[in-house]
Chains A and B, each alone.
Chain A
Amino acid sequence: MSTSFLPDTDAARTAVAGLFAAKPPILVEVRFPQMGTSPDWFLCEDAADLEPILDRVGPGAEVRLSSVWDLADKAGPVVVCR
């Protein structure tokens, strides 16, 4: 079960900061739903690395963050929708 947030909300910032604090590095998946293409992938060591990725994300894209130590996906990713 994933947890979804709108960008720039306190909940999103808290979840993202918590993920980076607890289990870095973080694998970032930028999905393009219903756009006929595969996701973009990034590896971020800290939250500052995420900012330029979020700045680039266009409308309709979906950003999913998962710790590389938790790729079995038991906890589910943090999802940020634009």
Chain B
Amino acid sequence: MPADELLRVVLVRRGTVRPTEFRLRPGETGLSVFRSTPDVSPDAIVSAVRAARKQGELGTAAISASVFRALGLRIVPTPGGTPDPAVNACHVEARPSWWRRLVLRARGRAVHDWFNERVTPELARAARLSE
């Protein structure tokens, strides 16, 4: 797994992943993902999320960090919320730049609306599923 990839834990339905897996919910400031590192496997990340009682058939979707940067997102390390400290240490958020947030605020547009319209489809196209 390339080190510059970011991982999202996704619900796998019939071998596919829906774009809704990459949406922001109201109140969220960035998409929660994990850095790929040699020390923490994708399986460990899935197990940590499953331990938080996320339901369904889970897998990881890998997206190159360059895709996030090309979409104008910044990768910001933040503490993870799973029960596994090692997994939490790999947690990052992909957030729009301060300039983008300023523009959105000036236009009276919510961050999640912009993200879901402009960013989510691109992430869904770029995602590579590993179950």
B23 to A38, Cβ gap below 8 A?
yes
CA distance A37 to B93 in the complex (A): 12
Report how many A-B pairs have Cβ atoms within 8 Å: 71
- Is B104 an interface position by the 8 A CB rule? no
* Interface residue from A31, A36, A39, A73 paired with B34 (Cβ < 8 Å): A36
Which of the listed residues A2, A34, A59 has the most CB atoms from chain B within 10 Å of its own CB? A34
- Interface residues contributed by chain A, number (CB under 8 Å): 19
Which of the listed residues A31, A34, A35 has the most CB atoms from chain B within 10 Å of its own CB? A35
Which of the listed residues B23, B55, B58 has the most CB atoms from chain A within 10 Å of its own CB? B55
A32 to B52, Cβ gap below 8 A?
yes
User: Which A residues contact B (CB, under 8 angstroms)?
Assistant: 2, 29, 31-40, 56-61, 73
Known: A32-B49, A59-B83. 5 other contacts (CB 8 A): A35-B81, A37-B32, A38-B22, A56-B55, A58-B53
